[in-house]
């Protein structure tokens, strides 16, 4: 049995390990565009912050591929999949045949429409090489411009602020992380960042970058201009599917997969940021481009590829960040539509800066926001994942003393 895995991100790695643990004979090939060995992508912002070294990003030992008898094709990009002949073609002209294929190519950052984005020091924050380049520029950076208030932009801003470099962030909503937090928590975050040097501009876009050898200035949509030495584009990611034949493998935003992580083409699977599965909180198809989701999807895809039928109930979006004096943990559908059937409960202790909010669809919790006191977050996320009705315990959920024993009756 020949298994081919496109991408050496965490979905691909976990799929490979799962296949190997179930099948000691099969051949496994991983085709990876990045040359850096498997590493933890979410940690690159900590690398930027200066808290971890480049080496600490690696998540597998140097002899990883050898010890698992995986054939790595490093620095090589897949250009096409021939579904009928069951082989993939790479940019080096190589043809790699497969019996089972896993597309775990991840997602690419969305570009900006502003002019001059080719200038030096205008960059995405997606790979460790992006961070290495940013760190080379650090000595002369006086101000950083961040496009977007999502997770990437937010973490970029935080990393520079921790290095005591002023940051201006351009966001569309009135508070950062608008996809992850509700307005209340968002306001708490905005204030915390502002108190630590973040300049947030709402409803303003970058129109053009200017500079010679490197970016020096940005022109904004409100007519103003700003000096900046480094620009981070954090406008979200979109699944990397350019090489996927749309006529054979159905896609929406990402590659559609069933409960066994299989695409519309039997024997071809997808997992991780590139896959579009069912979101249990939103109750609809969704791409949750998150590390723990990629891990679980990779494992399940790998099990199914190795012949064990394992079903995946669906993914749940979730995030946790520590930002100066605030810890924020969120999950699920945090900002529900204004429809019948949705209820919310919340409590805020201003003295302790402790906020907790839950969104329900009928009796089932579907959304969670916690600011500080986040230790019980996993208990709530497990309720969201299970789509478990809470009944009378609802009154206890917001209380500091809530713990798993109160669910055991």
Name the minimum Å distance from CB 346 to another protein: 6
Nearer to another protein, 223 or 401 (CB): 401
- Closer to another protein by Cβ: residue 277 or 299: 299
* Residue number, 15 or 147, with CB nearest to another protein: 15
Whether residue 302 contacts residue 14, with contact meaning beta carbons closer than 8 Å, is answered with: yes
Shortest distance, position 63 Cβ to another protein, whole Å? 15
Which is closer to another protein, CB of 4 or CB of 188?
Answer: 188
| Residue 184 beta carbon to another protein: minimum distance, rounded to whole angstroms | 10
Closest among 160, 130, 127 to 143, alpha carbons compared:
160
Query: Cβ-count burial of 191 within 10 angstroms (0-12 exposed, 13-18 middle, 19+ buried)?
Result: middle
Q: What is the DSSP string of 226-253?
A: EE-SEEEE-S-EEE--TTS-TTTS-BSS
Q: How far is the CB of 152 from another protein (least distance, A)?
A: 16
Query: In the chain, what's the furthest Cα-to-Cα distance?
Result: 67
DSSP-assigned letter for residue 39: B
Interface ranges with another protein (CB under 8 A): 40, 42-43, 46, 51-52, 56, 59, 291-292, 295-296, 299, 318-320, 322, 327, 329, 331, 344-348, 350-351, 374-379, 381-382, 393, 395-396, 398-399, 401, 403-406, 408-409
Q: Which residues are bridge partners to 357 per DSSP?
A: 346, 369
Q: Judged by CB, which is closer to another protein: 77, or 291?
A: 291
Q: Radius of gyration over alpha carbons of the chain, in Å?
A: 22
Do 263 and 83 touch, CB atoms closer than 8 A? no
For the bound state, the minimum distance from the C-beta of residue 119 to another protein, rounded and expressed in Å, comes to 32
Which CB sits closer to another protein, 275 or 381? 381
| Residue 40 C-beta: closest distance to another protein, Å | 5
Q: What six digits make up the tokens of 109?
A: 């950052």
């Amino acid at each position: 049995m020949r298994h081919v895995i496109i991408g050496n991100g965490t979905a691909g790695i976990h799929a490979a390990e799962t296949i190997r643990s179930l099948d000691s004979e099969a051949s496994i090939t991983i085709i990876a565009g990045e040359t850096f060995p498997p590493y933890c992508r979410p940690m690159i912002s900590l690398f930027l912050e200066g808290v971890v070294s480049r080496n600490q990003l690696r998540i597998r030992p140097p002899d990883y591929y050898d010890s698992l008898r995986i054939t790595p094709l490093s620095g090589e990009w897949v250009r096409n999949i021939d579904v009928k002949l069951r082989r993939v073609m790479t940019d080096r002209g190589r043809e790699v045949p497969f019996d089972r294929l896993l597309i775990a190519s991840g997602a690419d950052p969305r570009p900006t429409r502003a002019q001059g984005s080719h200038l030096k020091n205008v960059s995405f924050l997606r790979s460790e090489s992006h961070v290495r380049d940013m760190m080379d520029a650090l000595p002369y950076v006086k101000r950083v411009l961040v496009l977007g208030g999502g997770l990437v932009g937010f973490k970029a801003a935080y990393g520079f602020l921790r290095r005591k470099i002023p940051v201006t962030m351009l966001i569309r909503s009135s508070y950062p992380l608008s996809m992850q937090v509700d307005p209340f928590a968002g306001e708490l975050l905005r204030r915390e960042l502002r108190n630590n040097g973040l300049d947030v501009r709402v409803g303003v876009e970058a129109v053009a970058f200017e500079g010679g050898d490197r970016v020096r200035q940005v022109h904004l949509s409100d007519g103003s201009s700003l000096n900046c030495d480094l620009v981070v584009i954090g406008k979200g990611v979109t699944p990397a599917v350019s090489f996927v034949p749309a006529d054979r493998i159905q896609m929406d935003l990402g590659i559609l997969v069933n409960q066994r992580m299989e695409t519309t083409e039997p024997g071809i699977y997808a997992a991780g940021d590139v896959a579009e599965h069912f979101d249990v909180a939103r109750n609809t198809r969704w791409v949750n481009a998150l590390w723990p989701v990629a891990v679980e999807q990779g494992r399940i895809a790998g099990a199914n590829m190795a012949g064990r039928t394992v079903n995946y109930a669906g993914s749940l979006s979730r995030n946790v960040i520590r930002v100066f004096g605030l810890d924020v943990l969120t999950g699920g559908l945090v900002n529900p539509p204004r429809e019948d059937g949705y209820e919310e409960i919340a409590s805020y202790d201003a003295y302790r800066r402790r906020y907790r909010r839950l969104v329900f669809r009928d009796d089932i919790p579907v959304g969670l926001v916690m600011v500080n006191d986040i230790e019980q977050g996993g208990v709530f996320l497990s309720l969201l994942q299970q789509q478990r009705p809470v009944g009378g315990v609802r009154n206890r959920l917001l209380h500091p003393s809530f713990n798993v024993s109160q669910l055991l009756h």
